[in-house]
Structure 1
Amino acid sequence: MDNSKKVWFVTGASKGLGLALVKKLLTEGYRVAATSRDVKSLSLAVDNNTSNFLPLQVELLNEESVLKAIQDVINTFGGIDVLVNNAGYGQIGTLEEMTDVEARENFDINIFGLLNVTRNMMSHFRTKKSGHIINVSSIAGLLGTFPGWGVYCATKFAVVGLTEALSAEAKEFNVKATIVYPGYFNTNFLKEGSMKMPANPIADYTAARNTEVWHETQMIGNQPGDPDKAALAFIQLAEMENAPLHFFMGSDSFGMAYNKIEVLQNELTANEVLSKSTDYKK
């Protein structure tokens, strides 16, 4: 066990980018605690029985479960240095189609689970005066013009807002925060188990249905992002002395971010007079 290397805590680690990251970290000699709702499937997926790996079954919406997991890691490895909030799932459905239950379930996992872990981890980081929280959003956390993805986009926009606030709150304790905006990566994200469809689809929404078909027939298997390279990028972010608050992961994410910035700049310019007309006259 190399005690000179950082200790990582990764949620949602049984598949996708989380799994790729955990495997790469263990290969590089880091100590890793990884969470999943099913610890057996997590252990099988990671396939590492060394003392550097601590698989944990955690219910992210249960604060006692989260607290126990954090304490187990501290007891095992002596502390935690990097938290990666990766757990989440995609929810498809237009805003009219989505039931209240479907919307709240997506927010529960993508936001309130993340908040449970962050809130309880901050106590440890604040005490030790160091730490790095990496929250996985999505390019859908900056760009919301994807028909049929409104609730999912809303959860990922929320990740951005709370992480920006966290960065300001945690700075005095030498705790860093980074938002990662992945584009499309070749994982199981678009497949069953990581993606939920609306229970009551409305056929009139042709743009949303066409988007679903495109994802199912054109994008699956053709995602430009390499999960193993993403894992390396996560590690590089955690090793940076001045880690960015915003990190766009993948050439598609990078390009869409630039397009969004261009739209904002154009709309600011076009509406500058009206924007400033609402001030009290001096």
Structure 2
Amino acid sequence: MSTKKVWFVTGASKGLGLSLVKRLLNEGYKVAATSRTVESLKKEVGSSENFLPLEVNVVDEKSVNDGITKTLAVFGSIDVVVNNAGYGQLGTLEELSDKESRENFDANIFGLLNVIRNVMPHFRNKRSGQFINISSIAGFEGQFPGWGIYNATKFAVAGLSEALAAETKSMGITTTVVYPGYFKTNFLLKGSLRFAEKPIADYKEARELDRAHIEDIPGNQPGDPEKAALAFIKLAESQNPPLHFFMGSDSYGMANNKMEALKNELSANEALSKSTDY
């Protein structure tokens, strides 16, 4: 009898999600994968008895619930959930409209919450399960001019993941928040990255970073999506998966730099910090 876990992966028609789905199927896992169009999944992955392509809009809770219900009907269980759906929104905090900002939160945060909320009854019932929530190094190190709203959504992924891990620990459910660096996927291409509708020229640092993400970075990312897929599988098969996982040498380096800066600020302001106690 197979002991292979059943995976539920959102945002699976491209990028890290697509690489993961293909690797999982190659290794004999059962995979339910979501995208906004089921045709895109079928085109990229093909067909297999172990593959369930699902047309799901993560912002629509009924759509999410329908996808999870169908997965349970077909595979009988869900063991690992990878919350990968979302997109990058560029634009400074002044430039982005309320609509642009809220739409990014809807996709990156409230969509993820819809999945968690609808999977949890199944996980609670069987007293096991694993969430792998995809943040970004921009969800730990926020000093990227013009990425403030996206940063905020990814910091939120980290914060709610920490709470989720604490809330479900006694149920045998684990959570890992993953902070990828730059991987050679189509994340920086049209469809996964949106720019401010009304840019303001005064923001020279943001415009330079915009230019870099269009001209310099695509094709030169250090991360290998195939190796990322293997890392996800190792996380899922670990007896004690980490709460925080920084994926890629660039992510690892930036995290270390941020922690060193925090340590320095703590030390420099220790007396002032403690001066507020009774």
Alignment TM-score, normalising by the size of structure 2: 0.99
Quote the Cα distance in structure 1 between the aligned partners of 2:153 and 2:276. 31
Partner of 2:113 in structure 1?
115
Secondary structure, counterpart of 1:64 in structure 2: helix
Coordinate RMSD, CA, aligned? 0.7
Quote the Cα distance in structure 2 between the aligned partners of 1:117 and 1:100. 24
Shift of 1:199: 0.3
- Kindly tell me the number of residue pairs found equivalent between the two proteins: 278
Deviation digits for residues 236-256 of structure 1 (CA, Å, limit 9, x no counterpart): 000000000000000000000
Deviation digits for residues 83-116 of structure 1 (CA, Å, limit 9, x no counterpart): 0000010000000001000000000000000000
Partner of 1:253 in structure 2?
251
Quote the Cα distance in structure 2 between the aligned partners of 1:204 and 1:61. 34
Quote the Cα distance in structure 2 between the aligned partners of 1:215 and 1:259. 22
Q: Which amino acid aligns with 1:137?
A: S
Within the alignment, does 1:243 sit opposite 2:241 as a pair?
A: yes
Q: Which amino acid aligns with 2:202?
A: D
Deviation digits for residues 38-67 of structure 1 (CA, Å, limit 9, x no counterpart): 0001110112x1110000001112111111
Shift of 1:176: 0.4
Quote the Cα distance in structure 1 between the aligned partners of 2:225 and 2:163. 28
Quote the Cα distance in structure 2 between the aligned partners of 1:251 and 1:126. 35
Shift of 1:3: 3.3
Partner of 1:141 in structure 2?
139
Within the alignment, does 1:14 sit opposite 2:13 as a pair?
A: yes
The correspondence for 2:216, drawn from 215, 218, 225, is 218
Q: Which amino acid aligns with 2:141?
A: L
Q: Which amino acid aligns with 1:29?
A: G
Quote the Cα distance in structure 1 between the aligned partners of 2:138 and 2:4. 33
Quote the Cα distance in structure 2 between the aligned partners of 1:222 and 1:164. 32
Partner of 2:22 in structure 1?
23
Quote the Cα distance in structure 2 between the aligned partners of 1:264 and 1:170. 29
Partner of 2:203 in structure 1?
205
Runs (5+) with no aligned partner, structure 2: none
Quote the Cα distance in structure 2 between the aligned partners of 1:176 and 1:234. 14
Secondary structure, counterpart of 1:22 in structure 2: helix
Which structure 2 residues correspond to residues 16-55 of structure 1 after superposition, within 5 A?
16-47=15-46, 49-55=47-53
The correspondence for 2:148, drawn from 147, 150, 166, is 150
Q: Which amino acid aligns with 1:88?
A: G
Partner of 1:128 in structure 2?
126
Determine what percentage of the aligned residue pairs are the same residue: 65
